[in-house]
Amino acid sequence: MTTRLRTAHTADLDPAELRAARALLDDAFDGDFSDEDWEHGLGGVHALVHDDAGLAAHGSVVMRRARHRGRWLRVGYVEAVAVRPDVRRTGLGGQVMGALERIVDRAYDLGALSASEDGAPLYTARGWRLWTGRIHALSPDGIVRLPGEEDSTYLRPALAGPPDPAHELLFDWRDGDVL
């Protein structure tokens, strides 16, 4: 199987490429990929892997903000990672993550993502570590704790070094799933 990896900002993807990425995500998540989930993956850099049958894998990294120990960090937040069902477990997810990790490592203070049980082994094998501290978000109504995110949020120390789990991470707010 011959594959081609391309990275591009959302602004550089044409409407057909965006439709193909959304269709891949809808299929990969069995229809459980909302419009808000899609929106979360836009506005940053996408990694797209094509094979002879079309788009085979996708992921994106967008900028978020998180406060840790009184300092606001630029977070490269990984979103919308999926591999077409017929080519799963062939290394394409690793190709996508390699491209996104290069961006996180060179442009952000910290990398973060929220992983499913099925997805977590890919990330941990690549050096992502489960955050063991508290997670909060700055909501429209003030600071709220997100205990449901504390067992599925993975971090990749980049320019800022590893955060201290004795101190909370406070993420910016967004509609839908906050993390």
C-alpha–C-alpha distance, residues 8 and 79, integer Å = 14
Judged against a pLDDT cut of 90, whether residue 160 lies above it is answered with no
Judged against a pLDDT cut of 90, whether residue 158 lies above it is answered with no
* pLDDT band for position 80 (cuts 50, 70, 90): very high
Q: Write down the pLDDT at residue 146.
A: 96
| Backbone dihedral angles phi then psi of residue 80, each to the nearest 5 degrees | 55, 45
Lowest-confidence region among 138-142, 149-153, 155-159: 155-159
Q: Write down the pLDDT at residue 57.
A: 98
* pLDDT band for position 157 (cuts 50, 70, 90): confident
Domains of the chain: 4-171 (3.40.630.30)
Q: Write down the pLDDT at residue 37.
A: 96
Judged against a pLDDT cut of 80, whether residue 159 lies above it is answered with no
In tens, the pLDDT along 5-18 reads 999 999 999 999 99
Strands (DSSP E) contained in the chain are 4-9, 45-51, 54-68, 71-83, 110-114, 129-130, 135-139, 142-145, 153-157, 169-171
* Residue 1 or residue 15, greater confidence: 15
Q: Write down the pLDDT at residue 145.
A: 97
